[in-house]
Amino acid sequence: MSVVTEKARIAEICLTITGMNGAGSMPRSLPDADLPYTVLLTGECTRRREDNLISIERIYRLAFLVKSWAEGVETEAEELAEPFFARFEDAFMTRPSLQLTGNTTRLEGVQNADLGNDTGITNIELGGVGYAGVIFDLHVLSMRVMTRGQ
């Protein structure tokens, strides 16, 4: 399974979360109308080979941005972010193979996907602007068969 394919599916799942306005790669700028937005970052990977089978565990960092700290009244950004802890859990913990809603077919090659740690509500900088947000770790275990010559 490729990183590009897994990230595309993760973005699709993020877009099913109530209140989410966008998900994908890091934009050059992020207008308020696009918030909340989840930036998908490719994290570290562990590979293991057993005969001709390769297992790959990759961590994706889901940088959820809810609101600029400079906008709105004090504590508003934090209050807006809090419901998303449960919403991310609902979206990802119910899809152990990154399947879409109503689809029981796993994403090809994905054996398991678990939402792991999160940072709690923190400052996330994008283009010099500080956003209230949360970084979630999504652990994706996939398998692929090596063919001769690889």
Tens-place pLDDT, residues 51-78: 889 999 999 999 999 998 877 777 888 8
> What range defines the domain where residue 64 resides?
3-145
Q: What is the DSSP letter of 26?
A: P
Residues 6+ apart with CB under 8 A from 73: none
Question: What's the full length of the chain, in residues?
Answer: 150
Q: For the chain, what percentages of helix, strand and coil (3-state, to nearest 5) are there?
A: 20, 45, 35
Cα–Cα nearest to 17, from 102, 86, 74: 86
16 domain residue, yes or no? yes
CATH (domain of 44): 3.30.2000.10
- What domain count does the chain have? 1
Helix (H, G, I), strand (E, B) or coil at 146: coil
Residues 6+ apart with CB under 8 A from 120: 134
In the predicted structure, residue 105 carries a pLDDT above the cut 90? no
Using a cut of 0.95, tell me whether the model's pTM lies above it: no
150 domain residue, yes or no? no
Max Cα distance, the chain (Å): 60
Per-residue model confidence as pLDDT tens digits over 5-64: 999 999 999 999 999 999 999 887 788 889 999 999 999 999 999 888 999 999 999 999
Q: What is the DSSP letter of 75?
A: T
